[in-house]
Chains A and B, each alone.
Chain A
C-alpha cells in the first residue's frame, strides 16, 4: 500500500465544464476527507465520509460541489460548471475512525481557464 492516491494529479479545464477527481484512501481506513487549498493558505475542510456515509457536507463551497463514496472505498469529488475561482489544489485524506491522524494524498491541482 503506497498511501493515499489521487487522480488526476493535474487538470486544466475551461470555465463552465464539469470535472471529477478521484481519491483512493489507505485500504483499511474508513474515514475519508476532502480539503481545498488555495495559494498562500492552509487546506480548508470540505466534506467527510465514514465508510459510504457522507456525514458532513455543510462546508462544501456551493451546490456545484458534490462528493460520493459509493462502496466505502474510493471517493469522487465533482465540480459542475467550473469557475475561475475554483482553481486550487484539492486534497484527499484518510484515517481510521479511532484516531485523529489523517494521511494525505498528493492532491489534484485544478486550473480553470
Chain B
C-alpha cells in the first residue's frame, strides 16, 4: 500500500533563510507526487507537481526515486509562505490522493 511521510509537524525559519520541507513515500508503482498548500482560512490548493517540473512562488521539488523522496525547497523564505504544506501521492485507477500528515511552516520576521 502507498504511504507518504512528512517527518516534521512544525518548521520555523527566519525570513530570507532557505527552507526545505521533507517528504518520503512508499509506492510499488511509478509515483505521481504533489505538494498542496493551505493558507490560513483558505482551502487546500495545489502548489506544484513533479511532472510539470516548474517553480511556483519560488518553490521547487525534485523527485528522487532512489531515496523515495520529494522534498520541497525554497532558497529565500518569505513571511507569506507561512502555511500548512501537504505532500501527496496519486495512485490507482481512481487517481486518489494519499496525503502526508502535513508540515506547518512559520516564517519569522
Contact = CB atoms under 8 A, between A and B. Distances in A.
Contacts of A104: 36, 43-45
Contacts, number: 57
Interface residues of B, number: 24
Interface stretch (A22-30, A37-45, A64-72, A75-83): A37-45
A20 interface: no
Contacts of A3: 43
B49 A100 contact: yes
Interface of A: 3-4, 31, 33, 35, 40-45, 48, 55-56, 59, 91, 93, 95, 100-107
Contacts of A102: 46, 97
A104 B44 CA distance: 6
B98 interface: yes
Contacts of B102: 41-42
Nearest to B92: A56
B25 interface: no
A101 B49 contact: yes
